[in-house]
Structure 1
Amino acid sequence: MLKISNLALCLWLAASSHCLPPDKVSAAHIIKTRSIDLNNAHGLAMETRLDRIVEPSGYKLEIEPYMEDGVFKGRVSINVTFLKDSDVILIHCGHDLEITKVDIFVPFFDGQRVEVKEVTLDAKKPIATLHLSAVVPKGTKGSLDFAFNGNMETSHTEGFFKATYMENEEEKALVATSFRPNNARRMFPCFDEPEYKVVFELSVVRPKNMLALSNVPVDKTDEIEGEPNAVWDHFELTPPMSTFTLGIVIGDLKQVNMSVFKDRLGNNIELRVWGRSEFVPALVGVMDKILVVYKHITQLMKSPLPVSRLDFVALPNYQGVKPVDNWGLIIFKESDLSSKGYLQLTQEILYQWLGSLATPAWWSDAHINKALVGYLAADIAFKVNGGSEMEGKWPMTVLYSLYYEFSKRYPHSRITGMKQETACTKIELLFRMFNYTLGGDTFKKGLQKFIESRKFQTFTGDDIWENLNTAARADGKIPQDMNIKDVVKSWIDKDRLPLIKAERKYDTNKLVITQKVFLRERPHDVPDAAKMSWPVPIIIAREDRLNFSHTVPSSWLKDKKELTIKSMPNKDQFIIVNPEEIGPFPVNYDQQNWILLSNYLQGKDRLKIPELTRAKLLHDAWNLAYAGDLSFATALNMTLFLKDERHHLVWDPVFTMIDHIGRHICSCIHGKFRAYVRILLTPLYQELIKNEREDEENWRKNLRSLTKTFLCQAGYKPCIKEAQEHYSKWMEAKNPDEGNPISNQYICPVFKWGTKKEWEFGLQRVINFPPSRKQSERTYLLKTLAGCPIDEYKINRLLNITILEGNGNFTETDLFLIFSMLTGSSQGYTTLFHFVNNNWDVLKEKFISKTNLWDNLITSATSQFTTEEGLELVSNLYVAHQGEFASAEHIIEKSMRNIREESKWSAENLPVIEKWLDAYLANSSVKDDLHM
């Protein structure tokens, strides 16, 4: 047995500041008390795993927290089995944890007792190596015993942490754990990997005036001799579980209420809600929500939750991004548990099955688990409250962002951290696709088979897909030559999505389905694009028998082969492929079918097409036109029904489209496009302001706000007048630099459409901005000064004063911000280009040595043009100053390449857009006299 003195160990670990204070080193069990988020799964996937020398089969853990000092000590005995002959054992141990004693107990070998000779700690990894006095044979069973000390975390609520809060004008303390994903090693030496699922026998010391909660109920409580203010709580044996699901809470908490839920299999579970005394009233209705959600989940899951109690704790001053989903003990921020929504609560209860009962084998599988929980939670939340919490936008909120990301030439190139998140989103949508295409009963059956087969164990994605496949095969829901695992692999392995082309042959009533990679950004020169294909479910809604509840595919498009479907409707009736966005892919049609769809949507029966599908048709058309796969005349015709459309889901993608196209077209047709936007949005806005209520839904408030913002940008006269009236109050203030007395919503319209005097007033407020005010207010003001105007005078004035005049009130950071904001409109970057061209020598001398600023200036001034005229401007600048660009040489060369591609798009589409706008404005029944 290796014994190490407390002082010697502190020196050995070079961590003397982490030792227990002298009065806490004794063996007495005393607590001195006062009166009182996917985690980085990608990084975790790369974490070094422990060598599989031994595996644990159970922990006996004792923890003594000293709350006043924020320290703790403890002991743990771990039952292990040797998996190979070895004289070393590797175990996780946080660098701040101090091992004061370690023993190994195994049978005698050659008449000698095996001891721990030495413990070494990896300087970079939280791993301790126990060096043994003899080689222990494979198959040997024994135990490892540790005594240890440590510090509670006080600056963050993770690991084993202490938090304080005020109640009744008194400071109180609590301690709790948040071990996900790999923080258990910071509290005790352990095998801190998900696959080691074993039982825990936990004991903790707590003050008598506090409560201790863990994963399971307290089995017994023992008095501590000589310590009248503290007791030992010994908890029942837990089910087999991973270290990160172990949980402890010690604090002055009150039970809000308790309910016993009996599931359909006759299993009883106590559901309890806890919070501090002052917060109890805010938690009164939480149990009703829990019961509703729990009922839905138990109807979904066949396997009962193998715990007798589930506690929901509203923890004061908990700062975690997401709740702590320990098995049987879920810790929430107070505001999260008391909130009105159902989604997060549903997610956390689902994690009891998908995360605790069945656990991802490694962090590389965590995103699949998160995706499944995310989909099921959204589905249940919709059933519970009609999706009002998400304003009905799911799955559009995640789907459309996925379309944009995967249609780029280089997905994730700008924000590499998005890769895991978008992969998770795609899998979530695949679960949704299978729920539709297999049918809800078959999907549920496959999910239940998966849970039953992996309970108390770990799983990989393959376990889910194989169980879904077995259920689908048994119910005849997939073709015999298909396997769900292969389907999923095809979708997951590519950071792309397919575009389906549905071309009807009206003379024979046939439909020909083909696929290709969906790309929006130009050029479409993605490597291997021609080789990419996906297994795609083909689901068709047809006008002659509209039925949006039938979601089983009539067939699957596999490999790269085209698919021909017979018996389509006659030529004057439309079809819709992939209604309700059942699969994550856009669909293009032949010209005639688009016309049929546009006409139907403008007719009296348009509401027979559900809002999600109406939104899809609109979104697909506009994005296909943007990508060059559809005429803009067709896409713009698809917006004609919006004059009668009032559902916010359908309007939601419209604002993104207006923004995308508004940024892309040249200034030559901006006036006509703004008039189109005003005519499009005015009836909706007038109706929204007419029926405004204080208690109205969030979606209505958001829709009104968006509509107003885009109308203001388009020069809607009532908006400009209102903004100027409010702005005048600031201009008339005695001390305008003391603060901005008006809402930010009024500033951009004034800077864009208002007078030079109004804009100059804003400029002076930036110049004279007092350091005592929040700098974020100055930043917002400068962003709008640069990004909102379309008047060349205002833009040149800003560039002159900040660059040529060298006004000392503007920093280099300000210049970066100005350049960036000017790229948002054709007037902005065109004026910036001419400014650079006209002041080349001065700017070169000023910035050539400041590489980042110079490169940013050249990028902003040259990269945004989209027409032949723009290409000529940039090319002339390049020729005139060839060899003078220094570090920005490659930037302007890249700009010319990109403009050359964009100019092809503009040459093809701008005449079409302008012609359509001319006809639309000429035939519009709405008189557009509401612009500046």
Structure 2
Amino acid sequence: MTQAREPLGIMDGNPPSCDFSTKTKRGVYLSKGLAFVILVIFALALVATAFIVYNFAACPATDQLANVTKYELTHCDQSKLLVIPLSTENSKSVIPLETTTVLTTTEEIEAVVTDVRLPTNVKPDRYYLKLTPYIYEGNFTFDGELSVVVTVKNDTDQVTFHGVELTFHSINLFEKADGRSVRVVRRTEDVPRQFHVLHLNETLKAGRQYVLNITYTGILNDNLHGFYRSSYEAKNVTRWIAVTQFQATDARRAFPCWDEPALKARFTISIARPSNMSSVSNMNNVGREPHKTLPNYTWDHYAESLPMSTYLVAFAVTDFGSMSDKNFTVWARKEALSSAAYALDIGPKILSFLEEYYKIKFPLPKIDMIALPDFKAGAMENWGLLTFREIAMLYDNNIYPTTAKARVAAVVAHEIAHQWFGNLVTPAWWSDIWLNEGFASYVEYVAVDAVEKTWESMEVFVLNEVQSVFKLDALTSSHQISVEVGNPEEIGAIFDKISYGKGSAILRMMNHFLTNEVFNSGITDYLNAKKFGDAEQRDLWSALTNAAHQKGALDADVAVIMDSWTLQTGFPVLTITRDYDSGLVSLRQERFVLINNTVDNQTAPVWWIPVSYTTASEKDFKSTRPRVWLRGERAIEVKNISAKPDEWLIANIQQTGFYRINYDSRNWRMLVEVLNNPTRFQEIHPINRAQIVDDAMNLALAGRLDYRTALDITSYLTHERSYVPWKAGLVALGYIDMMLSKGAYYLEYKRYVLRLLDGAVKDLGWEVSVNESVVRAQQRADLLSTACHLEHVDCMEHAVRMYTNWMLTPNPDAYNDIHADVRSTVYCVGIQAGGAREWRFAWERFRVASAPAERELLLTVLGCTRAPYLLYRYLELSLRNDSGIRKQDTVRVFSAVASSAIGQPIAFNFVRANWQRIKDYVGSVSTLNTIVKVVTRRLNQPHEFDELERFINESCTELGRPVLQVLESTVANVKWMESNYQTIVDWLLETDQDSKTW
């Protein structure tokens, strides 16, 4: 799964007193007598309903069970039919409502939630699933008929499975061999664990197979999980569709199942859909037939799948259009279908590359990719049916920025990489989800680099996956890569930068110390050994160790090395101290933490660290294999490093190791000198220039390096023109920007950074050339955005002029001559410099825009206004179903508002004042965590921390580890202000005396 990548965004004041509700308050008043009569009628109705359910147990609007005398299970080729005859006692196995026990009391919950794993007595082998979604009937429900063939592993008189928000109509259990009925005497619903337990009147025998038949009704919810509904507008008509998102634990919302990743089974799926719509699922369609009881519905029957986990099951019922290239098909809204052409072009190329990369052919007959109007994640790797947010799959070079093309390629590559790593071989439990997400996050760059060779993808990897995760992993409240998780909220919380970014970074590190040949060979062996099954990280380590030993590439066990990275929280900083007289070099490791608490050196973690390096005379930035290892040692001394006293030394070549580097002061001074030399700085590889900037600024942030040294390094950016070092510099300086933005000396900071930017901004300019490279387009977007943010006069004037001209266009929705690559800057500045008129203009453009990229951009820039009342109104609109803001974009709105010094207090106050309303609306713990995170990033005063802590203690205790990370980050901000604010102000004042260009 690809995470949804949300933007960032700021103010103070109180919520407006106006009521944005569209509901009219009304009341109905009853006399006591009338109320009593109604109560009696209601009670009689309940009794009658229970009687009907008990006697008939019918599921409305579905193909009935042929008088409950047989149940048909149709295989993928439609030629095999498994018929289970029922005895005359079959009706007794239908569970009436009054025999269902629901565990909901406090005592029962406390007694139950000790182990969320299913019992291992029964294992599913095959699911036969028939679903009928009611999309246009008005009630947004679906009927389901399920048969599951299970094998009993241990004698048991209970069958336990998952199910959430499902209403059962009939439950029958039979022995497969002879069709003998097994009586179900009671069903217990364990709400906290989302279990349904069938209590039987006899013991099921180990080794035997049984068939469980269930008919039920579910909800097509609007919370973007399970089997859910989505809509879009076409020619002023609302069109509804029904789609799925099951990872991690939401298949149980669509059908009763054993919803754990290791419990793989084969699936045969049939979907009944309106005859004017189409359906798609994991496998190829093998037959259609009219629905027997619904005249305007058609059954689509799909081939039996390979063994797969429940979270990878997928289906969609839409009225979309499609385009195909052999076994590849893309689906999208008909008016957006042409924008899926690039995904259809690059998808087969990536698939072909990955078949060669893994040395294993893709095992399914087809791949469908579908762009959905509403989708919580960025995309999802369902086997054979990849689902995407529209913005992650659609691209049109006429209306989308060039950078959107890179995004589509990366997300498509990520999801196709999962078809092997995650789908073919699946983690045995969610604790090793990093095997899925870390590997796909790494291979997406490898694949894109292979098919789009000019994009410098492996250099960008360092920015997006290595440096971006360091700050989170520097918190004491971070977590191990491989971490024990239980309930669905804990599982959802580990789909974070640690699993994705750190997971991919340590795989890249391993690739470099093993070599491509050994790494790829071990991966192929692992996949072949575990295909169609499940695995743990030790299985991967074993395969890689065998490959390394066969090739003589390593004299250690991969598990010993890599467990130090996956089973420990955090990462090391390697301090290199040189004795310039003797040439002796000392290497010492310790955990890098943001708040530099004193740690007992005896209990502090240590890592196996591969150390590559080069010197001023060597300048070898190609050899990334380690020349030295710290084998779990806290410190070592090295004598054979041939660096002269006047030569700099740089370690961790191309930042292939997941750790930071600190040097002694003399080596830092030599690096400052070479970087600030306009004719010599390019002697250092661009990735290592970016690494030096990022390491220095973050070492200073954590109190391990003097800020003056770190800022002296950033001054070299005046003559830097490469994207990767510049981006690292902007991110590092961005923290100072955020901390100083409410202070008295922000002007000096702005003048300093604008001096750094001047040359690069002039070189890039506003004019976008034909066939602009992705790297140059990204650099222009970042640098122009920063320049205008810092109120560069020419940048502001140019942007305001372009926005005003667009507003004056007679038909702004049909004609917009602002190039897509610079629209984000132009729109933001135009709204920021304007008032209600400019904001309303952008809002109207959002309301009518159909291109996902334009809609996403407008949602982001609407937070650029400096008018508090508009920001409050924008937050209000994000919680209204009728506003046009999709629920998937709620976080984007909060992030946009909170991204400035003006909007952040407004967003934080709004969240505190409307917390219950937000919880009810978004319906997702992960979304709530993200909202809290984005609205608190700028807090850096003791009283702000006190307010945050009080809010979390009173309202957010159920959110778990992510809010602890928010608290720790805020403490770090407060301590940073106390320790570094004056130092930085003094340095800026000294620097400002030298030049006052702005």
Distance 1:13 1:493, change over 3 A: farther
Cα RMSD (Å):
5.1
Amino acid at match of 1:319: F
Distance 2:119 2:673 in 1: 66
- Distance, in Å, in 1 between the alignment partners of 2:190 and 2:258 is 15
Give the SS at the match of 1:146. Answer: strand
CA gap of 1:707–1:198, structure 2 versus 1, over 3 A, is closer
Task: Letter of the 1:572 partner, please give it.
Answer: D
Tell me what 1:309 maps to: 366
CA distance in 2 between counterparts of 1:295 and 1:576 reads 38
Query: What residue is the counterpart of 2:571 in the other structure?
Result: 497
Structure 1 position 553, deviation (Å) = 0.6
Change in 2 beyond 3 A, CA 1:129/1:451: same
Report if the CA contact (8 A) 1:689-1:704 is conserved: no
For the Cα contact (< 8 Å) 1:99–1:148, is it kept in 2?
yes
Answering whether residue 529 of structure 2 is matched by residue 453 of structure 1, we say yes
SS at match of 2:679: coil
Identify unmatched segments of 5+ residues in structure 1.
1-5, 30-44, 260-269, 730-741, 752-764, 789-797, 799-808, 815-819, 834-850, 857-890
Distance in 2, Cα, partners of 1:129 & 1:405: 40
Q: CA deviation at 1:421?
A: 1.8
Partners of 1:448 and 1:159 in 2: CA distance? 33
1:511 aligns with 2:585: yes
Query: Match of 2:713?
Result: 638
Q: CA deviation at 1:498?
A: 1.3
Picking from 152, 159, 168, the partner of 2:226 is 159
Q: Deviations over 1:130-182 (max 9, x none)?
A: 2323223322x232231413134052443334545555666655444333333
Rate the CA distance shift 1:724–1:251 in 2: closer, same or farther, 3 A: closer
- Per the TM alignment, residue 115 of structure 1 is displaced from its structure 2 partner at its CA by 2.9
The alignment partner of 2:657 has SS state of coil
Give the distance between the partners of 1:896 and 1:345, measured in 2 at CA: 37
Alignment of structure 1 residues 254-333 onto 2, 5 Å: 254-259=321-326, 270-315=327-372, 317-333=373-389
Q: Residue 196 of structure 2 aligns to which amino acid in structure 1? A: A
Given the alignment of the two structures, is residue 623 of structure 1 paired with residue 698 of structure 2, yes or no? yes
Instruction: Give the counterpart letter for 2:361 in structure 1.
Output: P
Shift of 1:657: 4.0
Using structure 2 for the length normalisation, give the TM-score: 0.67
Q: Does residue 83 of structure 1 match 2:83? A: no
Evaluate the alpha carbon distance shift between residue 72 and residue 610 of structure 1 in structure 2; reply closer, same or farther with a 3 A threshold. same
The answer (yes or no) to whether the contact 2:53–2:169 under 8 Å persists in 1 is no
Alignment map for 1:16-27 (pairs within 5 Å): 21=60
Residue 548 (str. 1) matches residue 621 (str. 2): yes
Local SS of the residue matching 2:635: coil
Match of 1:237 among 304, 307, 314: 304
Aligned to 2:40: none
Separation in structure 2 between the aligned mates of residue 228 and residue 782 of structure 1, nearest angstrom: 50
Q: Which residue of 2 aligns with 1:443?
A: 519
Which residue is equivalent to 1:649? 724
361, 376, 387: which is aligned to 2:428?
361
Q: Quote how far apart the aligned CAs of 1:905 are.
A: 6.5
1:470 equivalent in alignment to 2:546: yes
What one-letter code is carried by the residue in structure 2 that aligns with 1:593?
A: N
Compared with structure 1, are the counterparts of its residues 531 and 723 closer, same or farther at alpha carbon in structure 2 (3 Å cutoff)?
A: same
Aligned-pair distance for 1:548? Answer: 1.8
Q: Aligned equivalents of 2:291 and 2:116: distance in 1?
A: 41
Deviations, residues 643-668 of structure 1 (Å, cap 9, x unaligned)? 31122321223334445456479989
- The Cα shift of 1:821 comes to 12
- Write the distance in 1 (CA, Å) between the matches of 2:584 and 2:259: 59
User: Displacement, 1:235?
Assistant: 3.0
SS in 2 for 1:570: coil
Which of 48, 62, 67 is the matching residue for 2:116? Answer: 48
Q: Write the distance in 2 (CA, Å) between the matches of 1:556 and 1:614.
A: 23
Residues 1:698 and 1:775: Cα distance change in structure 2 (over 3 Å): farther
CA distance in 1, matches of 2:594, 2:166: 50
Displacement of 1:607 after TM fit?
2.1
Matches of residues 646-725 of structure 1 in structure 2 within 5 Å?
646-661=721-736, 663=739, 676-689=752-765, 697-709=776-788, 711-712=790-791
Partner of 1:103: 173
Q: Which residue type is aligned with residue 783 of structure 2?
A: R
1:520 deviates by: 4.3
Contact kept in structure 2, 1:342 and 1:389, CA below 8 Å: no
Q: Is the 8 A contact 1:313 1:331 kept in 2?
A: yes
Instruction: Return the alpha-carbon distance in structure 1 between the equivalents of residues 60 and 347 of structure 2.
Output: 44
The counterpart of 2:644, out of the listed 550, 570, 585, is 570
Deviates more, 1:242-251 or 1:653-662: 653-662
Q: Which residue is 1:883 aligned to?
A: none
Could you tell me whether the CA contact under 8 Å between 2:131 and 2:143 is conserved in 1? Answer: yes
1:19 touches 1:98 (CA, 8 Å); kept in 2?
Answer: no
**Alpha-carbon distance in structure 2 between the residues aligned to 1:811 and 1:709:** 29
Q: Does 1:57 align with 2:125?
A: yes
Report the CA distance between 1:322 and its aligned residue: 3.4
Please say which of residues 482-491 and 274-283 is displaced more in the overlay. 274-283
SS of residue matched to 1:58: strand
Partner of 1:486: 560
Deviation at 1:746, TM superposition (A): 7.9
Shift of 1:288: 1.6
Q: 1:299-349, CA deviations, whole angstroms, 9 ceiling, x for partnerless residues?
A: 11122222222222334x443423343222223344432233201111111
Once residues 92 and 855 of structure 1 are traced to their aligned partners in structure 2, the CA distance between those partners, rounded to angstroms, is: 37
Deviations 1:322-378 (A, max 9, x none): 334322222334443223320111111122112221111112222331111111112
DSSP 3-state at the match of 1:638: helix
Inter-partner Cα distance in structure 2 for 1:528 and 1:356: 42
Unmatched segments (≥5 aa) in structure 2: 1-44, 72-112, 396-404, 481-488, 806-825, 836-865, 879-892, 915-933, 952-966
CA contact (8 A) 1:766 1:782 kept: no
Question: Where does 1:502-541 land on structure 2 (aligned, <5 Å)?
Answer: 502-522=576-596, 524-526=597-599, 531-541=604-614
Indicate the percent of aligned positions where both proteins have the same amino acid.
23
Deviation per residue, 1:712-735 (Å, 9 max, x gap): 3xxx67679999999999xxxxxx
Rate the CA distance shift 1:172–1:548 in 2: closer, same or farther, 3 A.
same
3-state DSSP of counterpart to 1:562: strand
Residue 294 of structure 1 deviates from its aligned partner by 0.9
**Aligned residues of 2:462 and 2:687 also touching (Cα < 8 A):** no
Per the TM alignment, residue 429 of structure 1 is displaced from its structure 2 partner at its CA by: 0.9
Asked if the contact 1:311–1:330 (Cα under 8 Å) also holds between the matched residues in 2, the reply is: yes
In structure 2, do the counterparts of structure 1 residues 131 and 721 end up closer, same or farther at CA, with 3 Å as the change threshold?
A: closer
CA distance in 1, matches of 2:387, 2:514: 36
Offset of 1:779 from its aligned partner? 11
1:127 to 195, 203, 209: 195
Give TM-score, length-normalised by structure 1: 0.71
Shift in alpha-carbon separation, 1:528–1:721, aligned structure 2, 3 A: same
C-alpha distance in structure 2 between counterparts of 1:129 and 1:248, whole Å: 27
Q: Measured at CA, do residues 366 and 11 of structure 1 come closer, stay the same or move farther in structure 2, by a change above 3 Å? A: farther
Residue number in structure 1 paired with 2:143: 73
**Greater displacement, 204-213 / 334-343:** 204-213
Residue in 1 aligned with 2:510? 434
Question: Which amino acid is 1:612 matched to?
Answer: I
User: Residues 222 and 775 of structure 1: is their aligned pair in 2 closer, same or farther, counting only changes over 3 Å?
Assistant: closer
Question: Is the alpha carbon distance of 1:337 and 1:114 closer, same or farther for their aligned partners in structure 2, counting shifts above 3 Å?
Answer: same
Residue 418 of structure 2 aligns to which amino acid in structure 1?
Y
Change (3 A) 1:410 1:240: closer
Identify which of structures 1 and 2 has the higher relative contact order when contacts are C-alpha pairs closer than 8 Å and 6+ apart. Answer: 2
